[in-house]
Structure formats: C-alpha cells, structure tokens
Amino acid sequence: MRVLVTGGCGYIGSHTTVELLNAGHEVIIVDNLSNSQIEVLNRIRKITGKEVVFYQIDLLDKLALAEVFMNHRIDAVIHFAGMKAVGESVMIPLAYYHCNVAGTINLCELMTENNVKRLVFSSSATVYGIPDTVPVSESSPIRATNPYGRTKIMIEEILQDLYASDNEWSISLLRYFNPVGAHESGLIGEEPKGIPNNIMPFITQVAIKKIPELRIFGNDYPTNDGTGVRDYIHVVDLAQGHLKALSKIMNTSGVNAYNLGTGRGYSVLELVKAFEKATGCSIPYRFVERRPGDVAVSYADCHKAWNEMDWAAEKGIEDMCRDAWHWQQINTNGYATAID
C-alpha cells in the first residue's frame, strides 16, 4: 500500500513511518520541517533499510501539495502535520487555526479531487478538556480549553461533515493521550525545540544535566501525592495503533474516534520515580504553581480500540522511561548528534 504521511519527520510521524515500512508499505512523507529535522530520514533508513519519498512542503501550499498527488497513486493518508503546543496556541491562536484547520482543508480537497478517501487523523485527548469522570471514553463531552484542542475539534467536525457529504470516505480519529519514549534503537525520539513542553524530554534533559531541575506544576491536586495524573503511552505502541487504524479504514467506511492510551494513570512523581528506577539517574525537582487549565486526573478508556481495531498498548512505564533515556544518551545534541 502507498501511504502519504503528513508530518512524517515529527516525533510520532517518524515512529509510524518506521512501522509502516517494516510492515511492507511504501511511504511518501510531506513535512515542512518547522518542528522536525531532515536527519530523521537518515535515521529511518538506518532502522528499516528502506527508502522513503520526501517532499519539503507546507500543507498551506496547495499547489505544491497537488504535485505530490499528481506524482503518486496514493491509497491512504495518515495526517500528523500541524502546530501542536498548547501554551503557544494561547499566545498565537490565529496561527494555529490557519495552519491546522486550513492545512487540513487543503489536504482533504486534494484527496477528494484524486479519489483518495481513506484517512487516519492525528487528534488528541485535549478535545475532552477537563473531564467529568475518568477513565475518559470516546463518548465523553468534547470541550477543549485551548486553541490547539479546539483546532482538533474543528477538524474532527469537518471530517464528520465530509463523510456525511460522501459516504465513500473512511476516517479514523485517533485521540492520543501522552506519548513518551523512543524507538528501542535510540535512533529516533522526541527532540523538542527550546525548553520542552512535554514532561519526558524535560526529565531526560535534567538527567543529562542540560537543565538543572524538573519543574512540577502543582502539588495540591486531589491525587495520592498531590501531583497531576496522566495516561502515558509508548510512542511505538501509538505508532502501531496507526497501522491498526489504517487496516480498518481500508475495509470499512464511516468516521470513528478511538482513544489511544494505556488505560492507566501515573502521577508526575510516580513517573519521576519510575524513571529513576529504570535508569539509575537522580532527578532533582521543585514544585511550582499549577498551570491554568491543567486537570488533576486524566486517563483513557481504550476498550473501543481493542474491540474494533484489535489494538492495545503493550509497553509499560519502565519501557517508556528506559527507551526515552536511551535516546537521550545517544543523542545528547538531538538529531545534530553524529551517528555512525
């Protein structure tokens, strides 16, 4: 199968590309490299021994994107591309709406014109906002609390409308919880730009003493140790979830949302202790004020993904910590680190 992967050089996109290639699929990557590195392509080749076709294109450049569809007979699309930082989205909301929503519309218009009606969309658990109850199921209320999450809701609604207008479409909406970890080879992983927004690269950079200490936002939540509880999922499990979704959309029609998580929550302090145990590193930390909009507890109900896609996360918190640390040790300067 020939699969177009938008944002395929990014953290989740690169891991999914590896799984696609290992499963025998052909991959075409479109990425503007605004939040990723061209070196990722070399690492993917080292892991898989296979080539990918790459275009440095922004989805907002519809003419350039149209050439990709002209040059290749595409069977399905996995759509990761977009801006993704919650805090940044509050500061520059128009940029997020323009990039994420307009870029997706361009993509879907070209898919329609070229009769490509199979799509896996990278959504997010942020669509749920502050949940009333946990675990969070796909039927929980949708009410994001920031522009990033609202772009995901808007795109989900656009895709619902697209299917309503043409029942030949088959679309999976994958709502991720908290991806962490890295490929076991240590060749690809999460490389944030500047100060990390996500907790695991923050922890690993503290471990290599690039950052002096971990800041934990809040220790007065109604949880066992006062810190926030989240559902962390290994990025390779997440990538394999995309292959399951791809298989499903090739044989069905309709629009279906799926939570991708482990179904278990860990507090920030539990994650820190698990990392210390898995790596032998000591992680200094200090508590700071809560961030606006952060919830006390959020973890997924993943039964729908198991029942309908035959998918469940297999890797535990120790695997997540060990693989994230392995990536950081090998790549002290991220993708700028020379690899033999």
Domains (ranges, CATH) in the chain? 2-180+232-261 (3.40.50.720)
Sign of the alpha-carbon dihedral angle for 78, 79, 81, 85: negative
Residue 179 has pLDDT above 80, yes or no: yes
> Which runs of E-coded beta strand occur in the chain?
2-6, 26-30, 53-55, 76-79, 118-124, 170-176, 178-180, 214-217, 229-230, 232-234, 254-260, 266-267, 285-288, 297-298
- Single-letter code of the amino acid located at 80: F
Task: Give the integer Cα–Cα distance in Å for 295 and 314.
Answer: 26
pLDDT tens, 123-163?
A: 999 999 999 999 999 999 999 999 999 999 999 999 999 99
How does pLDDT run across 31-53, given as a tens digit for each residue?
999 999 999 999 999 999 999 99
- Whether 260 has a pLDDT exceeding 90, the answer reads yes
Give whole-number Cα distances, 29 to 1, 2, 156, 200, 217, in Å: 14, 11, 22, 26, 36
Beta carbons of 304 and 263 less than 8 angstroms apart: no
Q: How crowded is residue 106: how many other Cβ atoms within 10 Å of its Cβ?
A: 18
Cα separation of 299 and 223, whole Å? 13
Q: What is the pLDDT of residue 194?
A: 72
pLDDT digits (tens, 9 = 90+) for 221-256: 999 999 999 999 999 999 999 999 999 999 999 999
pLDDT for the residue numbered 173:
98
What's the rounded Cα separation, in Å, for the pair 56 and 192? 20
Q: What token pair was written down for 88?
A: 């940044």
- Is residue 19 scored above 90 in pLDDT? yes
The whole-number pLDDT of residue 108 equals 98
Q: What is the pLDDT of residues 48-81, one digit of tens each?
A: 999 999 999 999 999 999 999 999 999 999 999 9
pLDDT-derived band of residue 8, with 50, 70 and 90 as boundaries? very high
Q: Which residues are catalytic?
A: 148
